Amino acid sequence: MKNKCVSISICAISMLSCTAINAKIIDQDNERFIIKLNSSYVSSELSKKQYFHNNTLEAKATILSRFAKQTGVSVTKKLPLQDALVAYLKSSELKVLKENPHIKFIEADPKRYLQSESIPYGISLIQADQLPDVGAANRKVCIMDTGYTLGHPDLPHANISGDDGYGEFDTGNWFEDGHGHGTHVAGTIAAIGGNDIGVVGVNPSAELGLHIVKVFDSQGSWTYGSTIAEAVYQCAAAGANIINMSLGGNKPSELEREAFNTTYQQGVLHIAAAGNSGFSNHHYPASYGDVVSVAAVDEQGVKASFSTYNDQVEVAAPGVKVNSTTKNGRYGEMSGTSMATPHVSGAAALLWGYYPDCTNQQIREALQVTALDKGPVGRDNEYGFGVIQVLAAKHYLAQQTCEQPVGLPLADFSYSSNLLELTFSDESTDNDAIVSHHWAFGDGSHSSQQNPIHIYEKEGTYMVRLVVTDSEGHRALKIKSVNVDDGIAPICDDRPQWQQDKHYRIGDKVKYLDKKYTAIHWGMGATPDVFTHVWRFDGPCDASTTNSL
């Protein structure tokens, strides 16, 4: 089977707001500084005869101008009340001025911003502004996209994990976004509220878990269907309840379809962009049966002209001129079903946080039956069931009984290790007989045995996947990260290997990539070499020791 190409350009029509450029061109090597003069120097100058008949402030302004001329400084602003001036300085100029005895201090002139935040129209249109995200900490959304701007002041920086995907090319660090599309999507889902800056997301408490899979590089042009299929399992392994896919392409893939079907049965809710063709073609992965297909509407709730329509469109959400976070700590507007999709993913997380015992299917149905009907009465190909209404969905589920299903298989396994040789033990359960096992060991090897033994070629961390099928054809999935050690690498003072799915407390010690770290903040999924606010680097491991799991 040929790999299918998935294009991000189909899902986003960029309408980033332009940033005005100051007409005064400043050398990029220059920085803006405040130069404060010594009061004794200013007083001495004021005592000179030429200033006797001047107003004091006028005299000080003249003194500041003369000082600037003498020192070769091009003045931007004079502050005679404070005996100071403002100027753009090159590093060489700054060095000279710091030696001037008439200067009390020189400091960078810090920027200040309006302390206000706005609520994008989409948040109100789907009723998310009427429902606090009190259960956000119990849910996790996986975002497959161009990455995540970890340092953005309006985005969460805790409870975030990620990976750069499984593509044939290096997409870069997941916590960086050279394109901006993924950061825009993340802002709609989880931009922080109440901080007086920027925008507000559907889940504004900064407590929602996020897992980022960077399947696109900074160009954001395309990736393969096989890459998306593998990323689906990675999202599931990270404990994601919801997968947001603001991406797609025109051709289906059986491998991709299988990944969505398997993880949907395991309880993951998949949500994807319907497409931006403006025609009635099918778009994948949105048009798979186990994926929610999202159309786009504007601020008035009218279908966007670019929004793809077909028999698989399930719901609609705001997707025209959506304001959200972008790269480099900025904000901007984008349009596309890419922008509608995170409204639905965020709403699903918000709703599910209130009713964690509900299944993915029950959350999906609640969003369907409570959607604001548009177009012809009932479901139609342009709006699906209508524009989602998360508060109405909450009221609907309050009248239902959400219980986890019984009678379905539950996959699980344990393992023991002897250096590179690992013995896996199936611990899956079911009311009916489990008739098949399929293991994927994370290194390209597979097995259909119930309790296989596998020998890895080299040490590392591998993602092992077990899929079991019972006699009625129901399947279940379990994924675990397995640490394999060849016994040669250092053991780092007997520190255990860092694990992505483990909760760490302050003081916990781990090893990671042959380096020692100590937790200085609680967290889970925070990679030690990236999250320096969570982990303190304690130095390299002692190469003279030997390793054991």
3-state secondary structure string across 118-160: ECCHHHHHCCHHHCCCCCHHHCEEEEEECCCCCCCCCCCCCCE
Distance of CA 430 to the CA centre of its chain: 36
For the chain, helix, strand, coil in percent to 5 are 20, 30, 50
Q: What is the pLDDT of residue 433?
A: 86
> Domain 116-398, CATH 1.10.268.10 — does that match?
no
206: left (phi over 0), alpha (psi -120 to 50) or beta: left
Q: How far apart are CA 344 and CA 537, in angstroms?
A: 39
Q: Residues with catalytic annotation?
A: 145, 181, 338
Q: How far apart are CA 85 and CA 81, in angstroms?
A: 10
What is the dotted CATH code of the domain comprising 407-486? Answer: 2.60.40.10
Q: Are 363 and 352 in contact (CB under 8 A)?
A: yes
- The token duo for 257 is 């379809």
Q: Are 398 and 460 in contact (CB under 8 A)?
A: no
Q: What is the pLDDT of residue 530?
A: 79
Distance of CA 23 to the CA centre of its chain: 35
Q: What is the pLDDT of residue 170?
A: 67
Q: Which helix (H) or strand (E) holds 393?
A: helix 390-398
536 Cβ contact list (under 8 Å, min separation 6)? 517, 518, 519, 520
Pick the CATH number of 488-549 from 2.10.60.10, 2.60.40.10, 2.10.10.20, 3.40.50.2000: 2.10.10.20
Torsion 294-299-305-306 (CA) sign = negative
Q: Are 385 and 399 in contact (CB under 8 A)?
A: no
Q: How far apart are CA 426 and CA 159, in angstroms?
A: 31
Q: What is the pLDDT of residue 526?
A: 79
Residues in the chain: 549
Peptide bond into 285 cis (omega under 30): yes
Among 280, 347, 292, 293, CA closest to 133? 347
Among 308, 336, 304, 8, CA closest to 188? 336
Q: What is the pLDDT of residue 169?
A: 56
**What are the domain boundaries of the chain?**
31-108, 116-398, 407-486, 488-549
> Residue 449: helix, strand or coil by DSSP?
coil
For 507, other C-beta atoms within 10 Å of its C-beta total: 8
Which residues, in sequence order, are bridge partners of residue 475?
469
Question: Could you tell me the mean pLDDT of each successive run of 10 residues in the chain, 549 residues long?
Answer: 40 31 38 91 86 79 92 90 91 91 91 73 96 92 95 91 65 88 97 93 95 88 85 90 95 92 93 96 95 97 96 97 94 96 98 93 95 92 96 93 72 90 92 88 90 89 85 80 74 76 82 86 78 84 41
CA angle 310, 312, 314 (to 5 degrees): 110
Residue type, 306: F
Q: How far apart are CA 417 and CA 414, in angstroms?
A: 10
- The token duo for 272 is 């994807």
What is the dotted CATH code of the domain comprising 31-108? Answer: 3.30.70.80
pTM score, two decimals? 0.67
For 16, other C-beta atoms within 10 Å of its C-beta total: 14
> Residue 474: helix, strand or coil by DSSP?
coil
The two domains 31-108 and 488-549 share their CATH topology (first three levels equal): no
55 Cβ contact list (under 8 Å, min separation 6)? none
Q: What is the dihedral of CA 242, 325, 284, 369, to 10 degrees?
A: 50
Q: What is the pLDDT of residue 210?
A: 96
DSSP state of 50: G
